Amino acid sequence: MTAVRAAVLRERGGRLRIEQIDLPGPGPGQVRVTLAATGVCHSDASLADGTLRQSLPVVLGHEGAGRVSAVGDGVTGFAPGDPVVLNWAPPCRDCWWCTHGEPWLCARADEAWQRPYARLGDGGEVYPGLGTAAFATETVVPAHACVSLPDDIPLAEAALLGCAVLTGVGAVLNAARVQAGESVVVVGLGGVGMAAVQGARLAGADPIVAVDPVADKADLARRLGATDVLTPGPDLSKRVRSLIGGRGADHAIECVGRAETIRAAWSATRRGGRATVVGLGSTTDQLSFNALEIGHFARTLSGCYYGNTDPARDVPKLLEHYRAGRLELAAMVTDRIGLDDVGDALAHLGTGARSVVLFE
């Protein structure tokens, strides 16, 4: 056992407390990772408030990058010192979904979420948030929950690959399959939304309309590829149509996860267009359509999980874009904080693109 500092959530809706926990060494098939950076994601807030289910007490954080510090028996492909980004939904490669080309829907991806992985200072068990527990100086994860990184990629930026960038870019390229010249509306400009804007730019979309209530995000959205930035409102679809030939967008990418914003994305899409829902919402937030509009508008409404990505395949592709200057990571890091500041960052999500905890 090794004592590490971690942000622990003991009760749903409570505050994160920085505590010392006892972390075991890696068991068979596991690796121990010393974290360098972890992004603060809306999913962490959803886990903390109970919107998403997670056993308690828990160490949250899932968008992390660091270096392997030890490997367990049977682990090949990783050695101490190797830089890695964490994969919070690692595919087993054996279940029906994995063998049918949908590893992001793996039936066993959440197995590590359900098992305690360390001990609290009082001896009680603690669970790893989304299987990764990245709001801590160190963590232990299954080896297949790590994706190798080149040595020359800054880890503070590489952390974003673990969730925001894979999810946002993947939503555009893998789920929506946006083509060059098609129009895109991105609703919600958190880390995932800003990555979706970049994904639309990578796809050659035009125009790219970004939507968010926080006006201060407009400059960054334009830097990352948005041609227009709008604030939400009851006339949003009318304003979108005025920018896109009176039709509406070919694609809408919804990155919030609320019924209100899903409806807005749907309504901003042209007849025959496609709305892709990336945000994970509450089970109590009901979305409704009338029986006429489904057939009349002939739109497609589809969900998207983890950007429909396979990180082992897609992280190297994203790094190619990064090295070529086509994908910006540093610009998306709007706040660099310490572990003690994680609670405040969760409480103020929505004001920037991404807060990143730096451990080094």
Q: Are residues 81 and 217 in the same domain?
A: no
Percent of the chain topping pLDDT 90: 86
Q: Are residues 44 and 106 in the same domain?
A: yes
The pLDDT value recorded for residue 354 is: 87
| 39-68 pLDDT tens trace | 999 888 888 888 888 889 999 999 999 999
Residues 6+ apart with CB under 8 A from 299: 266, 269, 270, 271, 272, 273, 274, 275
Q: Are residues 94 and 212 in the same domain?
A: no
The whole-number average pLDDT for the span 208-235 is: 96
Q: Which of 127, 115, 81, 118 is nearest to 2 (CA)?
A: 118
Residue 316 included in any domain? no
Task: List the domain range (segments joined by +) for residue 281.
Answer: 168-305
Q: Are residues 129 and 230 in the same domain?
A: no
Residue 318 included in any domain? no
> What is the secondary structure of 122-179 as a DSSP string?
TS-EEEEGGGT--SBSEEEEEGGGEEE--TTS-HHHHGGGGTHHHHHHHIIIIII---
Number of folded domains in the chain? 2
The pLDDT value recorded for residue 12 is: 86
pLDDT band at residue 75 using 50, 70 and 90 as cut-offs: very high
Give 222-231 contacts, CB < 8 A, sequence gap 24+: 223/328, 223/331, 224/194, 224/197, 224/198, 224/328, 224/331, 224/332, 225/197, 225/198, 225/200, 225/201, 226/186, 226/197
- CATH at 254: 3.40.50.720
Cα–Cα distance measured from residue 251 to residue 187, given in angstroms and rounded to the nearest whole number? 11
pLDDT band at residue 112 using 50, 70 and 90 as cut-offs: confident
Residue 322 included in any domain? no
pLDDT of 293 > 80? The answer is: yes
Helix, strand or coil, per DSSP, at residue 357:
strand
Residue 312 included in any domain? no
Contact 68, 81 (CB under 8 A): yes
- CATH at 123: 3.90.180.10
The whole-number average pLDDT for the span 342-351 is: 83
Residue in this structure with the two tokens 């979420």, named with its chain if needed: 113
User: 190 is written with which tokens?
Assistant: 């958190």
Cα–Cα distance measured from residue 264 to residue 292, given in angstroms and rounded to the nearest whole number? 17
| 24-44 pLDDT tens trace | 999 999 999 999 999 999 888
pTM of the model: 0.95
pLDDT of 346 > 90? The answer is: no
CA 151-5-59 angle, to 5 degrees, is: 90
Q: Are residues 351 and 266 in the same domain?
A: no
Q: Are residues 201 and 274 in the same domain?
A: yes
Q: Are residues 46 and 183 in the same domain?
A: no
Helix, strand or coil, per DSSP, at residue 292:
helix
| 201-221 pLDDT tens trace | 999 999 999 999 999 999 999
Q: Are residues 236 and 334 in the same domain?
A: no
The pLDDT value recorded for residue 53 is: 83
Residue 311 included in any domain? no
Q: Which of 265, 290, 305 is the last residue of a domain?
A: 305
Residue 74 included in any domain? yes
| 132-189 pLDDT tens trace | 999 999 999 999 999 999 999 999 999 999 999 999 999 999 999 999 999 999 999 9
The pLDDT value recorded for residue 108 is: 95
Cα–Cα distance measured from residue 144 to residue 117, given in angstroms and rounded to the nearest whole number? 16
User: 203 is written with which tokens?
Assistant: 């796809």
Q: How far does CA 352 lie from the centroid of its chain?
A: 15
Buried (b) or exposed (e) across 123-142, using 16+ Cβ within 10 A? eeebbbbbbbbbbbbbbbbb
Percent of the chain topping pLDDT 70: 100
Q: Are residues 134 and 180 in the same domain?
A: no
The pLDDT value recorded for residue 4 is: 95
Q: Are residues 138 and 222 in the same domain?
A: no
Residue 159 included in any domain? no
Q: Are residues 26 and 108 in the same domain?
A: yes
The whole-number average pLDDT for the span 259-285 is: 95
The pLDDT value recorded for residue 283 is: 86
Helix, strand or coil, per DSSP, at residue 203:
helix
Residue 310 included in any domain? no
Residue in this structure with the two tokens 């790219």, named with its chain if needed: 208
Q: Are residues 181 and 293 in the same domain?
A: yes
The pLDDT value recorded for residue 49 is: 82
